[in-house]
Structure formats: structure tokens, C-alpha cells
Amino acid sequence: MAMGRLGVEETLEALNAALGPGGPVWFKETRARHLRVRDFFAPRRALRARFGDGQVPERVVHAIACLQGPGVAPVLRCVPTPTGLALQLQRSAVFERVLGAVAAYAAPSAIAAPGRRVVLHCPALRGGPGALRLSQLRAVLVADHLARALRAHGVSVRQVPAVRDPHMSTFLQQLRVDWPVPSERTANEALRSRAHAKLTSAGDSGALFPGALGSVRLKELVDECGHTASYDPNLDSCLVTEDLLSVLAELQEAVQHQLEESSPGMAAAPDTGAEGYLVVHVVSCEEEFQQQKLDLLWRKLDDQAPLRQKHLVCGPVKVAGVPGTLTAPEYYELRHAQVCKASALKHGRDLAQDPAWTEIFMVLSVAAIKFEMLSTAPQSQLLLALTDNISTKGTKSGTFVMYNCARLATLFEGYECSMEQGLYPTFPPVSSLDFSQLHDEGEWLLLFNSVLPFPDLLSHTAALACTAPGLHITARTEMVCKFLVQLSMDFSSYYNRVHILGEPRPHLFGQMFARLQLLRAVREVLHTGLAMLGLPPLSHI
């Protein structure tokens, strides 16, 4: 049997193929009560589409029970039931395969084809933080998370605009948003001159306000793109300013930069022209109309503009219980104050002025914000309840995830200290561990719902439907936050119920080390997921 990485998607694909031609039938179980008896299930109703009476031939059931292949998890049994086919894996074998290669499960299941290139444009970053609305902050956090996910997937990413406002740069550092600042490289003046020349011939001779260079009609281009492109039908003309041309020049430079400089270790794509790029404009819903103008203006003024421009439009952010408009810095200060208050209640004293806690409070504040902003699909409306108190006990929050990250760190620190005192032996080779001793349902829940499917989740987070028709694109940036919350809930339940570091008796060490290896895998997955959000792991809270 192949000893490569096991995969949920590979297993599902093989299970569906074993049933013969037709659509997908099998699904992976996730709930604890179902996982007590089965790991995958094919419902009777879905089986009727393949087999008229829903009865699967015995030879097919036997073939499924003997299923093997690259990435396919080893099967223990496949049993027909009144409600469908129930399949259970060889769990000890799955534990052994997965926990013997932990690093492989903290990376994407497949790396993108060499040469994939994306330009991420977030226009909200062109101003200062004081004017940044919560809907714009959401777009910034989505763009930052998407850039991290794409790079982890092997995609070459260029982010624009470069942040020129020093206060915005400081605020982004505070939020742990990784965004470039201006370099010494100057804008391509040839592109700007060509734009000016085309503008002169296309300009409207009507009255213009001071600072405007001319007016360009966009209606014909909207009609040329057709209804399937989904441009706003009210787009008619665009008043061109020097600032707009600067924006276009920066976008052109981002495309040109990647044409000239391939990323280290990446081969050039076969289509080396601008058409080989995907340009994604990540905007708030309030900025969508203006961004469509910019998109069309780029096409109008430059024949070399990338043909594939997509708009990732983030839904509105509504604030419950807070009158007026809250800016992004005010939102951060509110959450930071709530984190400090929650810590004072927990520890019985104010730690806000303690230098040892300053960084921790900043990370917890950012975690609270990012999980609030990113746990909802970006295109959906987001409702913030700012009056809710921050707590490590609230199972839906970023602080809860960071709390469990710290619990894992404390666990392994406790083992190291006990080992140095001679209470426990050094950690044995993983190949010598007996994973058949992992029989608690919480242990299988952690492996089957968290460690095993994590590579597929990373790949889905980086998936962009760039070939789909239309102007708009969707992204699954909510997946990592939801996954980490569920992982933390499962770990917390297991940790509260099972004593990991048991009595220092030799006959108990085997199970203890098997459990520690499982939690090593959980820790790796958790740390990788947090890195996708720009959050460092915490050792204590």
C-alpha cells in the first residue's frame, strides 16, 4: 500500500468511483455521535440514483471494503444499513499514518501550478487609518488573509497599493497585516505618458472641476463587455484625475514587476503576457461602483491591461448597539480595552501596564478583531455586537482560540519540565509508538475532523474561480477561522476530560506518548492556521 499522505478528498473520490458512474454519494461524518459507528456514509436516497432499489450489490460492497489507492484511507468495514452504506476506517492504521508524518498535514494538499500569479488590489489602503470604515477594514483583512493563503499554496502574489501614509503603516503593523510600503522603484512614466495621450483624444470638452484632466466615456465599453460581465448599467463616464492615473500606474507596475522578476524557485508561466495574470480588486460594497470605473478606465486607456480582472466585494458591516460611525482605530481601541478588562477580572489585577503582558494583549485584541471580521463569508453582511465582553470562555471568539493555543503550550512545557526532573523519559521515536491505545472518541474527533482534513481546507481557502464568467469572484476566507474555532472546541472538551500527563508509571507511558503525539499534530495545525491569519502562537494568557 502506498505510504503517502492520506486525504479526505482522495478517499471520497475513490468511494464514489467504486459505486460506478454518477454524481457524488458519499460524505464524511463530522458529528461525534455518528463517528461512534461510522466515518463515511452513503444515504439510501442518494444510492437510489445509482441503484434503482437502493440496494448495493454485494460485490460492490466487498470492493469498497477492500478499497486501496494513493491517498485513500484504509477501510475496516463497509456495512449496508436500513438508511444506507456505513463505512468505518482502520483507525489505528490512520492514526499511525497521519501521526507518523505530522508536517505533511500542516501544509496544502496540492501546490499550485508553477507560474500562477495574482495581483491583489485593496483601494481602502490609499488613505489614513482615521478615515478607515469598518467595511473597509474588513476588505483589508480579507485581502491580507487571501494573500497569505495564496502564497502558502505556491502562488506568486503582488499587493497594491504600497502604503504611503505612515499612520496607516503603523496601524497595519498593529493589526499584524503584512502589506508593502513604497520602494525606491519609481512608476513607469512611459505608461503614464501613453495614458495621458489617449486621455487627450478621448477627453470630454465640457466643463471640468479643478484638478480634473478630462472625462472618458465608459458606456460603450460596458456594452461591449455584455450583461454577463455584471458591470453596473449606470456606468457612463469617468472623470480622470492625476490621482486616478497614479493608481493605474501602480497597478501596471505591479503587473510589470512580476513579468520581469519570477518568484524564487518558480518557473515562468506559459502565458507570460498580462493576460496570464489574475487581478483581484478587494473592495467594500461602498467602493464597488468607483472600482468598476477604475477597472474600465484601465481597459480604456491601456491596450495591455490584464483581461482577467475580478472584483471581490465585501458585504456591509453593521454595528449593533453603537450609535454613529465607528472608525477602524476606534474599533481596535474598544476591543483592546475589553481584553485588558477581561484579563484584570481573570487575574485579579490590572496587567495593562505590565510590559510582559503588552504584546499578549495586542495579539488577543487583533485575534478578537480578525475572528469577528473573517468568520463570516466575505460577500455576506456582518453584524458586530461591540457591547459583548471579551472572554476566553466564549467558544466563538478569537480569544478562545488563543487561550487553547496557550493551553497546548503549557501542556508541552509541563512535560518538558517533568522530563528534566526525571519523572518522564525522553520522547521516544514516533515509529515506536502504539497508536492502538488511542481509543477515546475525542482523540478520533481531533484527528479525523482537524488534522486529516486540514491540507484540503488550506487548498480550498486559496481557491479562486478565476475562469468563471462575470465580474465578481468569491473567496472562502471564512474557512480557517471557523475551522480553528471548532478545533479549539474539540480540544478543550478533550483536554477538560482526559488527563494527558498521567502518573509517572512505565506501563502508562505508551498511551501518554501516543496522546502527546496526537496533540503535537493538533498544535502544528493550530499554529499553521493562526499563521494564515498573521497571528503568533501564545504560550500563556
Say if residue 434's pLDDT is above 80: yes
Report the chain's C-alpha Rg in angstroms. Answer: 27
The pTM is what?
0.90
Q: What is the pLDDT of residues 338-353, one digit of tens each?
A: 988 887 777 666 676 7
Give the pLDDT score at 341.
85
d(CA 461, CA 188): 34
Q: What is the pLDDT of residues 454-465, one digit of tens each?
A: 999 999 998 887
pLDDT band for position 323 (50/70/90)?
Answer: low
Say if residue 219's pLDDT is above 70: yes
**For residues 413-444, b (16+ Cβ closer than 10 Å) or e, as one string?**
eebeeeeeeeebeeeeebeebebebbeeebbb
User: What is each CA distance from 219 to 75, 224, 234, in whole angstroms?
Assistant: 60, 9, 8
Q: What is the pLDDT of residues 230-265, one digit of tens each?
A: 888 888 888 888 888 888 888 888 887 766 655 444
Listed ranges 75-79, 107-111, 216-220; the one with the highest mean pLDDT: 75-79
Give the pLDDT score at 189.
64
What cell does 448 get?
479525523
Rounded to 5, what percent of the chain is helix, strand, coil?
A: 50, 10, 40
Q: What is the pLDDT of residues 333-391, one digit of tens each?
A: 999 999 888 877 776 666 767 777 888 999 999 999 999 999 999 999 999 988 766 76
User: What is each CA distance from 326 to 130, 221, 281, 380, in whole angstroms?
Assistant: 10, 38, 24, 20
Mean pLDDT of 121-144: 95
pLDDT band for position 320 (50/70/90)?
Answer: confident
Give the pLDDT score at 190.
56
Say if residue 202's pLDDT is above 70: no
Mean pLDDT of 484-496: 96
Say if residue 270's pLDDT is above 50: no
Say if residue 194's pLDDT is above 90: no
Mean pLDDT of 53-73: 92
Q: Which residue has the higher pLDDT, 416 or 350?
A: 416
Say if residue 273's pLDDT is above 70: no
Q: What is the pLDDT of residues 518-541, one digit of tens each?
A: 999 999 999 999 999 999 999 877
Give the pLDDT score at 182.
81
Peptide bond into 82 cis (omega under 30): no
Average pLDDT, the chain: 86
Q: What is the pLDDT of residues 12-56, one digit of tens each?
A: 999 999 998 888 999 999 999 999 999 999 999 999 888 887 788
- 278-287, 389-398, 430-439, 478-487: lowest mean pLDDT where? 389-398
Say if residue 177's pLDDT is above 70: yes
pLDDT band for position 415 (50/70/90)?
Answer: very high
**Residue type at 181 in one-letter notation:** V
Give the pLDDT score at 264.
45
The answer to whether the CB of 198 falls within 8 A of the CB of 388 is no
The answer to whether the CB of 15 falls within 8 A of the CB of 38 is no
3-state secondary structure of 84: strand
Determine the number of helices (DSSP H) and then strands (DSSP E) in the chain.
18, 12
Percent with pLDDT over 70 in the chain: 86
d(CA 291, CA 311): 8
Percent with pLDDT over 90 in the chain: 59
Q: What is the pLDDT of residues 147-173, one digit of tens each?
A: 999 999 888 899 999 999 999 999 999
